[in-house]
């Protein structure tokens, strides 16, 4: 079995891989090429969807691509890095708004899917036992239960109001603005901030 | 059929309808478009099936066209992608709740695709993912503990077994506490009830015998003092021993484990846990438990005594007890919350402080002082605020509980006073005074009970962690009958070795190479390609999943640990020096080495010179708070350490990375002397250091991409090594350092 996706790095280790990818990029790229950013626009890039996946045609070559937000917490539709299966960067989209109609929708849907993390609307209960905490929350898709290990470290405060939970399974849950939460939920959360 | 997840009836119906007999099934909780929904993955020897919701037809993919299948991780979700012939297809999407199942599906599917039958690992069965008692899925699959069914009783019994050898001391502690309590209960009777009613009262049988009362009071006091002293004496002598033993047990259990145990956990937390847990457990068993028993006895005895003195009065007074109890629990809960907040505040402030202080050079260089001061001010204010809240709460909670406490006394004063005056129930003045003293005494055990819940929960938690560490099985074990060759050969062979740290992410993939005795092999590859993992595998810090590693022709799995470790030494980029003298650190590998040998080794490593410049030469203490050594100096010490060990096989893992050219030269010389006549494996990404290797292996994505000598590899058109070499030379040239 040939392994086209072997050793795929998790989201956390991507940076180092990208750097390495540059070193090993086939064909060999000189230092000059590496430091030059390719900006993708409707003029040079054509995006399409096939088999449920996103493809990019650039310089006459079609590649399956992965979209990555460069600043995931504040630029949802700007600065989108376009990577190939080996996580080598093919170019950057400055803003999805540059693309019109269907393409824009295609890109934004792909990003929405990739960065999907349920929003926590209410915290229904928090139970702490033996180093783990068990959360029952209300999300737009219904009630969800998740478990945090080492609760303090699993709850990340991104900026003033935004909270991100990372559970034992690697799921993420978000609260966009803690101050907009109801009083009870805030009280339940407060202890861990 | 191996059901990684249980399949519902609608899936069974669909399977029947299609007339297939799948051998493998797993569930995804998203549709392909990543909407919520149920999708099932099925497979038999010929095909892979996707059953996307009830309403859609079964999709079929022939396995013989499958060239690869893998999970692509997204942020909170994943996608299963497969390549059929040359086309990549999205098979399914799922949230990370289902990731484990899908990874298992992939693992077994790969076996099916190769025509192998499925032999499920019992760990992978769905039944092992749920608590056998209550059927709830384990919250964390890596730690199969059900929070609802954890047997606390079993934990405590096991812990009690640990303390069994302190039985006598524990019984003595208990006895002394009982004496103490008995005396506390007697004191008010002698000094109040007995004194007022029998001694100074004209009608009393002991009228006028003040000396007797004095004697009794003094005797109880003395006994009480004696019991306290005995108690303190035993507790303090046993405490130190117990904590020491607990810590020793924990540390011993930890040392025994393989490296993989540590990579799965935060090591820093582990060590503090050892200290805190030992204290928590000790406190509960030596402090909490005896007091609990004594307090229960005290409450019962006091209640009975009060009821004997005057039942109605006792009833009226004890009404306040439940009120007090629940109030104390409320106080503790709130206090705990406030403490936690204060703790988190001070932790944040401390981390900011250490962050800024250790990065002071950067702060100054970018003139960010003001911003750092602002950041500090904000956190400092938060801490001050939580401090203020805590002391405020302390203040009013103390007063309110005081009022409730006093209420009981007031009731007994009022009702009791009325009873004494009217002569109701034969209550005498002296007995009322005794009664009031008892009312005061009954509250302190209650105080204690309200906190006992928390303490027992903390202790259970600590014990759970302790036993988890004690019960963990090391992954890398010495064989039952290890081979101990008198002389171990120096050749190294990797035969089709595969390995992964995390399931499904192969780091080393079918790697084969061999080094003859005395040969020098260079391993090249970019960061994260798996070079250091090869070293870890050779040292048996981990065991290979597939394939075999042989040293001197003997598989490492069969070798005794001592035979292996005596013959291998590693000099790596991160040199760890222990706290102690330079001499101790060099002799770490061979504590019996003579002074001559140590000097010889450091001279070889080029370390002797700088050691002699240090104030205490070889006796200079290094480590936290002592002499600071530079990176190059530390490196040379670790080389001296390796030279002193004089192993057959030497691993140099990026030994000269992150060093200036001058230092590198000197260390290169030291290394050249070190590797003479030894089998050497050199790992580097700076290729200039590898020119002298007999052979080179280029590792890419965990596989051997190229191998040959420096010359051979450079002749390869479009070779990775050639590209790397050219790139590095170019970089050196542009920096003005041409080698």
Size of interface A-B (CB pairs under 8 A): 147
Residues of chain B neighbouring A111 (CB-CB closer than 8 A): none
The token duo for A112 is: 């929405």
pTM over 0.90: no
For the ranges B233-247, B444-458, B639-653, which has the lowest average pLDDT? Answer: B444-458
Residue A74 CA from chain centroid, whole number: 12
B463 burial (CB, 10 Å; 0-12 / 13-18 / 19+) is buried
pLDDT tens profile B377-430: 998 998 899 889 988 988 888 788 778 878 888 888 888 888 888 888 778 888
Is A7 in CB contact (< 8 Å) with chain B? yes
pLDDT tens profile B23-66: 888 889 888 888 888 889 988 888 889 888 777 788 888 888 88
pLDDT given for residue A65 in this prediction: 92
Among A114, A135, A161, which residue terminates a domain? A114
A99 and A53 in a common domain: yes
Mean pLDDT of B701-723: 78
pLDDT given for residue A106 in this prediction: 92
The token duo for B565 is: 């470790």
A41 and A91 in a common domain: yes
pLDDT given for residue A16 in this prediction: 37
d(CA B293, CA B441): 16
Helices B320-358, B369-422: inter-axial angle, 10-degree rounding: 160
A94 and A71 in a common domain: yes
Q: Does the pLDDT of residue A107 top 90, yes or no?
A: yes
Say which residue, A119 or B507, is predicted with more confidence.
A119
DSSP class per residue in B480-515: SS-B--SS----EEEEEEEEEEETTEEEEEEEEEEE
A69 and A51 in a common domain: yes
Among A79, A114, A149, which residue terminates a domain? A114
A98 and A13 in a common domain: yes
A168 and A108 in a common domain: no
- Cβ atoms of A181 and A191 closer than 8 Å: no
Give the mean pLDDT of chain B. Answer: 80
DSSP class per residue in B216-241: HHHHHHHHHHHHHHHHHHHHHHHHHH
Q: Does the pLDDT of residue B658 top 60, yes or no?
A: no
Vertex B373 angle, CA B372 and B375, to 5°: 60
A15 and A110 in a common domain: yes
Site from B71, B83, B88, B337 to mutate, A interface, most A CB atoms within 10 angstroms: B88
> What is the three-class DSSP state of B101?
helix
0.95 surpassed by complex ipTM: no
d(CA B111, CA B183): 75
- Cβ atoms of B699 and B682 closer than 8 Å: no
pLDDT given for residue A67 in this prediction: 92
Number of domains chain A is built from? 2
A116/B77 Cβ within 8 A: yes
pLDDT given for residue A12 in this prediction: 37
B506/A191 Cβ within 8 A: no
A15 and A44 in a common domain: yes
Q: Residue B135 — pLDDT band, cuts 50, 70, 90?
A: low
Mean pLDDT of B64-84: 87
Could you say which residues from 65 to 124 on chain A have a Cβ atom under 8 Å away from some Cβ of chain B? 66, 85, 113-118
> What is the three-class DSSP state of B208?
coil
B730/A1 Cβ within 8 A: no
Q: Does the pLDDT of residue B628 top 90, yes or no?
A: no
pLDDT tens profile B260-284: 666 555 444 566 666 777 777 777 7
Look up the domain containing A127 and give its range.
122-190
- Cβ atoms of B77 and B94 closer than 8 Å: yes
* Highest-pLDDT range among B424-438, B470-484, B720-734: B424-438
Vertex A118 angle, CA A113 and A119, to 5°: 130
Could you say which residues from 35 to 64 on chain A have a Cβ atom under 8 Å away from some Cβ of chain B? 51-53, 64
Which has the closest alpha carbon to A73: A192, A173, A176? Answer: A176
DSSP class per residue in B622-635: ESTTSB---HHHHH
How far from each other are the two terminal CA atoms of chain A, in whole angstroms? 47
d(CA B317, CA B321): 8
> Prior bond to B62 cis, omega within 30?
no
Helices B429-471, B320-358: inter-axial angle, 10-degree rounding: 40
pLDDT tens profile B174-225: 888 888 888 888 888 888 878 877 877 777 777 777 888 888 888 988 998 9
A130/B461 Cβ within 8 A: yes
Q: Does the pLDDT of residue B250 top 80, yes or no?
A: no
Among A93, A114, A135, which residue terminates a domain? A114
pLDDT given for residue A1 in this prediction: 42
pLDDT given for residue B663 in this prediction: 67
Mean pLDDT of A55-77: 88
A31/B75 Cβ within 8 A: no
A30 and A92 in a common domain: yes
A130/B75 Cβ within 8 A: no
Which has the closest alpha carbon to B263: B93, B507, B589, B450? Answer: B507
A126 and A84 in a common domain: no
Indicate the length of chain A as a whole number.
193
- Cβ atoms of B254 and B265 closer than 8 Å: no
Alpha-helical regions (H) of B258-288: 259-263, 267-282
Mean pLDDT of B524-530: 75
A80 and A42 in a common domain: yes
Parallel, antiparallel, or unpaired: how do β-strands B679-684 and B554-555 relate? Answer: unpaired
C-alpha distances in Å from residue B4, one per residue of B23, B24, B87, B105: 10, 7, 27, 7
For the ranges B87-91, B416-420, B723-727, which has the lowest average pLDDT? Answer: B723-727
- Cβ atoms of B224 and B180 closer than 8 Å: yes
A108 and A60 in a common domain: yes
- Cβ atoms of A192 and A185 closer than 8 Å: no
d(CA B306, CA B296): 15
The token duo for B551 is: 């040293």
Q: Does the pLDDT of residue A25 top 60, yes or no?
A: no
For the ranges A11-15, B58-62, B93-97, which has the lowest average pLDDT? Answer: A11-15
The token duo for B306 is: 């009060």
d(CA B46, CA B59): 13
């Amino acid at each position: 079995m040939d392994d086209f996706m072997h050793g795929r790095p998790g989201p956390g280790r991507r940076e180092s891989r990208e750097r390495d990818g540059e070193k090993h990029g086939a064909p060999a790229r000189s230092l000059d090429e590496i430091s030059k950013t390719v900006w993708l626009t409707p003029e040079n890039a054509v995006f399409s969807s096939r088999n449920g996946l996103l493809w990019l045609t650039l310089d006459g070559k079609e590649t399956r691509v992965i979209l990555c937000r460069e600043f995931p917490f504040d630029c949802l539709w700007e600065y989108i890095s376009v990577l190939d299966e080996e996580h080598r960067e093919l170019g950057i989209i400055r803003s999805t708004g540059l693309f019109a109609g269907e393409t824009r929708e295609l890109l934004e849907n792909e990003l929405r899917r990739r960065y999907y993390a349920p929003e926590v609307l209410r915290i229904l209960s928090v139970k702490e036992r033996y180093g783990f905490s068990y959360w029952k929350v209300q999300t737009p898709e219904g009630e969800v239960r998740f478990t945090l290990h080492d609760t303090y470290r699993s709850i990340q405060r991104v900026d003033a109001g935004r909270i991100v939970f990372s559970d034992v399974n690697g799921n993420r849950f978000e609260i966009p603005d803690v101050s907009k939460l109801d009083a009870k939920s805030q009280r339940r959360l407060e202890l861990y901030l | 059929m191996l059901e990684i997840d249980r399949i519902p009836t609608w899936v069974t119906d669909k399977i029947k309808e299609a007339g297939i007999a799948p051998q493998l099934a797993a569930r995804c909780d998203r549709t392909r478009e990543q909407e919520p929904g149920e999708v099932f993955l099925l497979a038999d020897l010929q095909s892979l099936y996707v059953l996307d919701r009830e309403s859609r037809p079964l999709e079929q993919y022939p396995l013989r066209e499958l060239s690869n299948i893998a999970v692509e991780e997204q942020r909170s979700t994943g996608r299963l992608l497969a390549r059929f012939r040359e086309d990549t297809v999205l098979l399914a999407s799922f949230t990370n709740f289902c990731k484990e199942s899908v990874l298992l599906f992939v693992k077994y599917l790969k076996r099916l695709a190769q025509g192998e039958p499925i032999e499920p690992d019992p760990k992978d069965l769905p039944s092992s993912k749920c608590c056998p008692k209550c059927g709830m899925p384990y919250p964390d699959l890596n730690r199969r503990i059900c929070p609802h069914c954890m047997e606390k009783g079993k934990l405590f019994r096991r812990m009690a077994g640990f303390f069994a050898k302190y039985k006598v001391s524990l019984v003595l502690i208990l006895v002394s506490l009982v004496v103490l309590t008995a005396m506390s209960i007697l004191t008010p009777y002698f000094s109040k009830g007995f004194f007022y009613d029998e001694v100074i009262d004209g009608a009393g049988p002991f009228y006028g015998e003040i000396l007797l009362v004095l004697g009794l009071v003094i005797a109880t006091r003395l006994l009480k003092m004696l019991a306290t002293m005995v108690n303190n004496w035993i507790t303090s002598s046993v405490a130190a021993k117990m904590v020491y033993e607990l810590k020793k047990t924990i540390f011993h259990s930890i040392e025994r484990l393989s490296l993989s145990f540590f990579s799965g956990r935060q090591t820093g937390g582990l060590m503090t846990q050892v200290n805190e847990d030992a204290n928590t457990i000790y406190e509960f068993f030596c402090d909490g438990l005896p007091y609990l028993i004594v307090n229960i006895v005290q409450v019962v005895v006091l209640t009975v005594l009060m009821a004997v003195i005057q039942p109605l009065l006792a009833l009226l007074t004890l009404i306040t007890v439940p009120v007090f109890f629940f109030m104390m629990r409320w106080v503790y809960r709130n206090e705990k919350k406030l403490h936690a907040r204060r703790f988190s505040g001070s932790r944040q402030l401390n981390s900011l402080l250490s962050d800024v202080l250790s990065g002071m050079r950067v702060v100054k260089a970018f003139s960010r002082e003001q911003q750092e001061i602002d950041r500090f001010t904000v956190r400092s204010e938060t801490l001050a605020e939580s401090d203020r809240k805590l002391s405020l709460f302390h203040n009013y909670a103390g007063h309110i509980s005081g009022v409730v406490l006093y209420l009981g006394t007031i009731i007994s004063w009022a009702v009791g006073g009325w009873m004494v005056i009217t002569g109701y129930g034969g209550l005498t003045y002296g007995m009322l005074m005794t009664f009031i003293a008892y009312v005061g005494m009954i509250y302190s055990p209650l105080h204690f009970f309200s906190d006992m819940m928390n303490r027992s929960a903390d202790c259970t938690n600590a014990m759970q962690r302790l036993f988890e560490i004690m019960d963990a099985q090391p992954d890398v074990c010495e064989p039952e009958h290890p081979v101990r060759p008198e002389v171990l050969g120096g050749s190294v062979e990797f035969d089709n070795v595969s390995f992964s740290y995390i399931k499904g992410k192969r780091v080393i993939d079918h790697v084969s190479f061999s080094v003859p005795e005395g040969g020098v092999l260079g391993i090249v590859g970019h960061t994260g390609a798996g070079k250091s993992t090869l070293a870890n595998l050779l040292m048996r810090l981990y065991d290979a999943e597939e394939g075999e590693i042989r040293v001197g022709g003997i598989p490492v799995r069969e070798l005794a640990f001592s035979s292996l470790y005596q013959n291998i030494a590693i000099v790596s980029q991160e040199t760890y020096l222990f706290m102690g003298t330079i001499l101790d650190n060099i002799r770490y590998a061979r504590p019996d080495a003579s002074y001559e040998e140590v000097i010889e080794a450091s001279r070889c490593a080029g370390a002797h010179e700088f050691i002699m410049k240090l104030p205490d030469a070889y006796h200079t203490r290094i480590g936290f708070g002592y002499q600071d050594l530079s990176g190059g100096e530390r490196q040379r010490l670790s080389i001296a350490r390796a030279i002193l060990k004089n192993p057959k096989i030497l691993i140099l893992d990026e030994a000269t990375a992150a060093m200036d050219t001058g230092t590198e030269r000197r260390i290169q010389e030291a290394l050249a002397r070190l590797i003479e006549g030894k089998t050497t494996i050199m790992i580097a990404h700076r290729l200039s250091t590898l020119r002298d290797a007999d052979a080179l292996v280029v590792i890419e994505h965990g596989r051997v991409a190229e191998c040959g000598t420096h010359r051979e590899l450079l002749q390869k058109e479009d070779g990775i090594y050639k590209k790397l070499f050219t790139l590095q030379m170019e970089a050196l040239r542009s920096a003005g350092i041409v080698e």
